[in-house]
Every structure is written in C-alpha cells, then in structure tokens.
Amino acid sequence: MPAQNVPQIRHYVDGEFVATAHAFADRSPVDGRLVANVCEADEATVDRAVQAARRALAGPWGQLDVQQRAAVLHRIADGIEARFDDFVAAEVGDTGRPLAQARSLDVARAITNFRTFADLAKTANTELFETPTADGAGALNYTVRKPVGVVGIISPWNLPLLLLTWKVAPALACGNTVVAKPSEETPASAALLAEVIHAAGVPAGVFNLVHGFGGGSAGEFLTRHPDIDAITFTGESKTGSTIMRAVSDGVKEISFELGGKNAAVVFADADFDAAVAGVLRSSFTNAGQVCLCSERVFVERPIFDAFVAALKARADAWRIGYPDDAEVDMGPLISQGHREKVLSYFRLAVEEGATVVSGGTVPVFGDARDHGAYVRPTIWTGLPDHARCVTEEIFGPVCHIAPFDREDEVIARVNDSAYGLACALWTTNLARAHRVARQIRVGLTWVNTWYLRDLRTPFGGVGLSGLGREGGRHSLDFYSEVANICIKL
C-alpha cells in the first residue's frame, strides 16, 4: 500500500481531532501490512486533554442530571450501532480476530455497555435514614452520588472496544470526564468511538483520547498527571504495579483488572462432551488472549486419558486463518512481539519436561499469512504444578492438563497461584459445585459454562489479578463519590 494512502489516526482533545509530530505504525497481525500511522501524544498533548476534561467537569456536562446523561449514552450507543460495520472492520484490522466474533461479541457488547450503564445510573440506589435527635424533631440522612472527577482510562489490546467502553460508559454515566488511552496495538476502534461521541453532541472535553505507549509516553504522562482524580486500568499485572506506584503520592482512586492463570476443573461426573467443548473454548478463544482463558486444566483421573485425547482431536481440527473466513475458529496473536513471548514459553515447556500433546508450532500457509503472528493451539501434559509454564501467565492458545484424585486436593492446587481471577468447574453434582465454588480463591467462578456474563454482576480478581470490582453498581461505586447529607428537622 503506498504510504500516502495509509490512514492517520489522530488524538481527540477538547472536542477536536489533533495530530502530533511523531507517529508509530499500526500493523495487521494477519499479514504484517501497515494498517495506519498513529500519532503519539507528547506530554503537552496529554496535559491539554486533562485540562480540557477539568474544564468540562465544571461546565455544561456538570450541570446535566442523570436522566440527561443517560440520554447522551443512549445516543452514543445508537451511533455505534449506525456504524456497526465500520467498528467491526476496525476491530478485525487491528486484532485479526474472526469477523463473526467481532460482530457477535466485541461491537455488540460495546453497544450494550452504553445502554446498560445508562439505565443502571438512572436507578442507582441511594440510602435514607430517619435519625432521632435529643429534641425529638429528628433528622434525615441521605446519600447522593457525585462524580469522582477526571478519570484516566487505560485499556488493553485483547478486546479493545469492549473493554474501553466497559470503562467509558459508567464513567460518563456518573458524570465524570475522561481521558482515555487505548493500547498502541489497537487504536482504530477507539478513534471511531471518538467520532461517534463527537457526532452525539457530547460537550468538548468530556471525552478525550490520546494515543501512545506506556513508559515515557502517553500512559506515563496520564498516570502521573496531578489533575487526574482516578485511574482505571486493564492489562498486565506488572504494569498495574507501575501505575500503583505512580499514583500513590496522590492517593488516587484505582481500579485494576489484571492478569490471570485461570483453572478449569473437570470432575469425572461431568457431561464429558460439554466439558471438552467448554475447555476447548476457554483455552483457545481469541487465540488464548483473554484474561479469563483457562491455561491450567485439572481433570479427575478416571477420565483423564479420554479427556486429553478428545481435547487433542478438537484442537487439531481447530481452523486457523483469515478473519473473513466463515469457517475460521482462531486468528493470529496480536503481534510478532507477543508471538515471540508465547513461543518462548513453548520452548520452555519442553525444557521443563512437558509432553506436547498438540500444537507447539507456527503454521505455514504459503501465503501472506506467513508474515502474520499465528501459532497453533497447544496442549501440554506432564509438568509439575511449580513449573513456570504452569504458574506464569502466557496469554496464548495453550493449556496444561493435569490429573487429580480428590476434591480437597484439586481445590488446594487451583488456589496455589499468585493470580485469582476466574475458574470454570465442570460437574453434574450440584452440591459439589456449590461447595467447591465457595472455596476457590477467585473473583468469578463458572459452573458448566465459561464467559457467560451478566453486566450487572461484579467482575474482578484477587492477588495479582487486580483490585476492585467492575460491573453493575460496583462500577458505579468506583466512578462516583457517595456523599452523606444530614438535614436537621
């Protein structure tokens, strides 16, 4: 593609689309082609965005009531829906994920995020207490929600639009203003969102978008800015630690959804075919690049060999290819750099003594996809629980399967992790499901399913998997300050 025809992705600051002098390349993980040139924000641009957000907080946006803000969010949702195919193309261009997944999950969920939080904000609970006083007249104590202020949002590359809107929607619903930084790997759908927000008539400065990297770039400039009131971040645990140090002096509100080394547990009484299909999906969806994916699989010994054989057969048949192929099951990893990280674990697993049941290699297509970032779905057995490939998050299409003999044993092994995000249990014994789920040290446990979400429920992890909860009123609690008002009667 001639350089002059490559699109430029700009920042959106104070109601204007602006360019900066330095740019970086946005490349397709499918075939390595240049998708766009992305402007990188300097410190002055980030400061301008923060100051615009600060002014907007005290301007017309701050005068809107919750019903009016909800109406704005519904207009944004309608705008995404009107440009549905544009958003699908942007997501697929940046991530290489199957077209069907972008349509059914990513863009559809972005629309739902705005509509859900618009409606939740309108019905958010407050408290009212009648308080006795010495003179007998009494008092009323009631709570109100106030915006936190200017919120810095840093979103990841694995589900770019879904996770960005998951934060922007409740932040705006609660009356905050926003400075968002998407991943440098996936800027396109965020830029489209800025266009939709602009067209929806959102006042200048309410939503700002800056592009760039982490350290020494837009991410660091944003997290260290003294006029940011809160930071919400989804991404790697190490980056979360860095952000925590950056905001500690200002004692700012933080919400972190970080990594996971999630387990799936398959008991011998499980619906065998459903469990195989479920673990296939939970291990390899989006090339394993979902924080909720199962990288550790524990199978009760009587069905262990049969389960490994069945999962291998399904993984070997997993179709890898172009995102617009209607039969494709899995696209590439996000980048060549990330593929090298995943491949380094593939090599390490062999060094640690793993049996490679399936995959472990790079597919050869004989076409442009050979310039992409593909790997095969990979299954290992034979590693001890303390092996690095069993304890460290890989974030690729890979799982290790190990046998277990007793319920108490598998609970202890699942919990023996620095992470604690999610777990999937497969069993037809309802009493066992309730009993085990309560003992697993994670924020979210599925029973006989995976990735089934109700947006009103809490989402988040423990340990290295994060701080705080998102979803429903839990998101509203983070993006608002609850204040008490006492009226003496």
Which member of 257, 300, 393, 470 is catalytic?
257
Which member of 291, 293, 389, 399 is catalytic?
291
Quick check: is 291 catalytic?
yes
Residue 184 burial (CB count, 10 A): 20
Active site residues: 257, 291
